[in-house]
Structure 1
């Protein structure tokens, strides 16, 4: 029996549905309500990657995996190391591809978290840099770790205040290469009401002083980046809807 090759149809249907989902405001409102309920149980803190806590929503882990596999960056820079699961997750994808490294930047890499990362099998693809992510001396260290001609992706997941995220966007944008992504985490806060804003955090950010506002300011001043409607469209139960920005020109 001959079975039809439906791969192209499958992908086309997937794209159509993702774009339609991105336009469904009612479903997105339900997603925000569910995230608010899940936050009572520290939902984003419940997951791990290869044994290490990864403080992410599953949808964002999948979306990040998709863009890394699609664009095949040589270097991924992440600001905000936390417990290390995210840098190790991205390092494991680079390991599968047989190339590259992740540069993790944090103002405070605590000794026990550094130990977890440096003792992990994926540590061979991780470089840790301690310092303020938007400070010029830190940026100089980051640039020194990028080989000439590298394809570069950036993930911003540190201080989520509007001013800091905007400073990071402007500081790291020039490092992102055409076709690769600048990912701004925790943009979901900008879609929430003050009552929905996660409260069980060391710092609380409210609508207007959060990453989505910074993304708006950043995009207003550049033509190098555009929100990816396909990735952002399907980000339900996600911390970063609207935060996946593709670099469209050098």
Structure 2
């Protein structure tokens, strides 16, 4: 075993140790619960734009994008555009012709202006419309046609019904070896007092419940539990789905 192999083996042992350490797992859940009260995800920007994601998840996405080198990244939910521009900047570093296709039911004019003036917008295209509208799905499918490596990220309306429709619409576009990432599955694990009263989702009605139903009838995907074990802090427990074929 050479030095690189020894290091890789040490990392795998570390990840397995985190998985088996029930105290660390419990502390991570407590920490995650308490930082959510402070809207921790709102604290960060990528190249000037609010990203509204956990840094740990963005590190995971960096690893996946480098590994997959996607020709197309499809993201539902744009908001301020920080995450879409982050993925675009990673594709710029990877090289090639890959780009991000962002979808949002309401791309606000001030956000659109900031996004389109950003230097990484050259690798970003946007569609305004519901991610589950048949016309939107048709347009996205056209973008994916002929692409060898497609990565899909779902981060829009977080109700069970909406996410399940997204999963059914966009999972066929994910290529073998790539990922279908479903954010905010942690909603299922948060206490009731952290559920926003002005949102239609909550415990029992959220992305995690949709993922579980989706996986019952789909054998193309499996949860990458190793990745979640490695992160410990993530908005997407059970939400990193590896495409098997």
Does TM, normalized by the shorter one, top 0.5?
yes
Give the 5 Å matches for 1:60-209: 60-99=57-96, 100-195=98-193, 197-199=194-196, 203=199, 205-209=201-205
- TM-score of the aligned structures, taking structure 2 as reference length: 0.94
C-alpha distance in 1, partners of 2:37/2:191?
A: 16
C-alpha distance in 1, partners of 2:209/2:14?
A: 27
Bigger proportion of residues as helix: 2
| Partner residue of 1:239 out of 211, 214, 235 | 235
Shift in Å at residue 166 of structure 1? Answer: 0.8
C-alpha distance in 2, partners of 1:105/1:56?
A: 17
Contact 2:159 2:200 in 1 (8 A): no
Aligned CA RMSD, in angstroms, stands at: 1.7
Cα deviations by residue, 1:116-155 (Å, 9 ceiling, x for unpaired) = 1100000000000011101110011112223513310000
SS of the aligned residue for 1:41 comes to: coil
C-alpha distance in 1, partners of 2:200/2:31?
A: 19
- TM-score of the aligned structures, taking structure 1 as reference length: 0.92
Contact 2:179 2:242 in 1 (8 A): yes
5+ residue gaps in structure 2?
none
Moved more, 108-117 or 235-244: 235-244
C-alpha distance in 1, partners of 2:192/2:79?
A: 25
C-alpha distance in 1, partners of 2:92/2:30?
A: 37
5+ residue gaps in structure 1?
none
Moved more, 77-86 or 206-215: 206-215
Cα deviations by residue, 1:168-227 (Å, 9 ceiling, x for unpaired) = 1111000000000000001111223324x353x852632211111111001101000011
Contact 1:15 1:230 in 2 (8 A): no
